[in-house]
Chains A and B, each alone.
Chain A
């Protein structure tokens, strides 16, 4: 395969003080596919995301996003990020359109005054996620699924080649979940790299082309069907029979 990987993580280790968050993670995420990142709380999913955006510097190893170091990728607007619900202030006085426009800020001048092309890009992104009717609503006045779509639209308006989604199905009903899955599939078909962290194993077969099981290191990376094998899941969720002391159960399903 000659295509540049969307995300290439090579031998990355991250420590917070004495705690090892990531240990020699090696992972290549291909463009044109939806890749699910599965792991329990504390498995290092968020840290991996932060390492990909460059927010956290690894103690060892390198990260490339769309073939570039994270800082260069950020400047080029390659990285789109859809935050977890609890990381967003839903009472913030911005409309859906305002949020989507924030995807354009990296392209804009010093005062970030939008040009006609930016308004067009925002309109197109809103239409694509089917939120054009709700564009002027305050962001908190959307349902859980609509909120996620608004942030995906921000990534589309940004024309992000790599889209990171942190637990996008938490607090989202089944129908919205299906809409989001379809949307992510379409975006992958555009040639984007889509990495989705999730607890939701039920949605996995329809959502993702491949799956990564993470427990501080990559436990497994391959097909979804294989990732759902009980022995692999048990290892990813720290229930490995070989390690009798680790009994932490998966938690936090929405």
Chain B
């Protein structure tokens, strides 16, 4: 069997076409967002919000509201609770995040267990990209488009906020508003990625691409291209692998991303552990202060 067959054979199935589209969409929008999350240091926040939206999604399902709305509400609730606990007690931020997201996630699990539906718990936890329906795909595409547009239009403000919130404030912009915007997009994106890799692994798609791209470039604009491209390619490779070896699709999507990160971590010319050593054999006159 040649490479072309490997690529084309799965495409004759409609469920595979939908799976590949959903995966590509989720990979791109998650990767875009991840560029800001990793630079601000919000990886744990990404983890928290992506778990905390679960009860929102379940409640939305029960009352027939859009999933995104439920996710957004619970994303906001989670962030607010974290802020309140940190601000009004001696509990530190990481502990506050841990308490809030696990509790909300647990609430989601309980709600699922008492909700009569066809939805399999495993699908929510680990994704069910091979079972994405046409209407699911439309919803994924719409949410992703909204998140994508917001990120692209406000990318300079978000980068400003990520780099220097004090300056952001000093020139009359609102760091609070911008962080709220980013967290709102995070909640939307979590819903998108949930269907592909499931709640447990969403955080991988929200962190790994940005971290990988940051090791490859010193330009934020390029990060915004590299992260989504790498993420889309590795995720599609993951889906193909899951087809051919008949293994967990969500698991393979994340596994491939992790392997790509490992390769970049080792061999990136400027910031890779081994790549840097190879590069430093050549004289570099301009490196005044590395990082």
Residues of A at the B interface (CB closer than 8 Å) are 53-55, 71, 74-77, 79-81, 83, 87-95, 98-99, 102-103, 105-106, 110-113, 137-138, 140-144, 146, 154, 158
Contact = CB atoms under 8 A, between A and B. Distances in A.
Interface string B258-291: 0000000000000000000000000000111111
Contact of A88 (B164, B169, B172, B217): B164
Nearest to A143: B288
A94 B159 contact: yes
Nearest to A87: B166
Contact of A111 (B154, B162, B170, B289): B154
A53 B163 contact: no
A83 B168 CA distance: 12
B163 A110 contact: no
B92 interface: no
B167 A102 contact: yes
A47 B169 CA distance: 15
15 contacts: A53-B169, A76-B172, A83-B167, A87-B166, A88-B164, A90-B289, A92-B39, A93-B219, A94-B220, A102-B167, A106-B173, A111-B153, A111-B155, A141-B289, A143-B289
A154 B164 CA distance: 12
Q: By CB atoms of chain B within 10 A, which of A75, A76, A81, A158 has the most? A: A81
Interface string B151-194: 00111110110111011011111000000000000000000000
A105 B169 contact: no
Contacts of B163: 89, 92, 94, 99, 102
Given A76-B172, A87-B166, A98-B220, A142 B289 contact: yes
Given A98-B220, A102-B167, 9 more contacts: A54-B169, A74-B169, A89-B39, A90-B291, A93-B218, A94-B220, A111-B155, A112-B156, A112-B160
Contacts of A74: 169-172
B240 to A, nearest CB: 31
B214 interface: yes
Contact of B291 (A53, A91, A143, A146): A91
A81 B39 contact: no
Given A110-B153, A143-B288, A83 B166 contact: yes
Contacts of B287: 141
Contacts of A91: 214, 291
Nearest to A144: B289
Nearest to A52: B170
B223 interface: yes
Nearest to A82: B167
Contact of A93 (B173, B220, B286): B220
Contacts of A55: 166, 169
A94 B220 CA distance: 6
A89 B172 CA distance: 22
Contact of B172 (A75, A80, A90, A92): A75
Contacts of B173: 105-106
A140 B159 contact: no
B160 A105 contact: yes
Contacts of A53: 166, 169-170
A105 B223 contact: no
Contacts of A99: 163
Contacts of B219: 93-95, 138
A87 B156 CA distance: 20
Contacts of A113: 156
Nearest to A74: B172
B123 to A, nearest CB: 37
A141 B290 contact: yes
B179 to A, nearest CB: 15
Contacts of B290: 140-141
Contacts of A54: 169
B281 to A, nearest CB: 19
Identify which of A77, A94, A103 gathers the most chain B CB atoms within 10 Å of its CB.
Answer: A94
Contacts of B169: 53-55, 74
A143 B286 CA distance: 11
Contacts of A71: 172
A130 B157 CA distance: 27
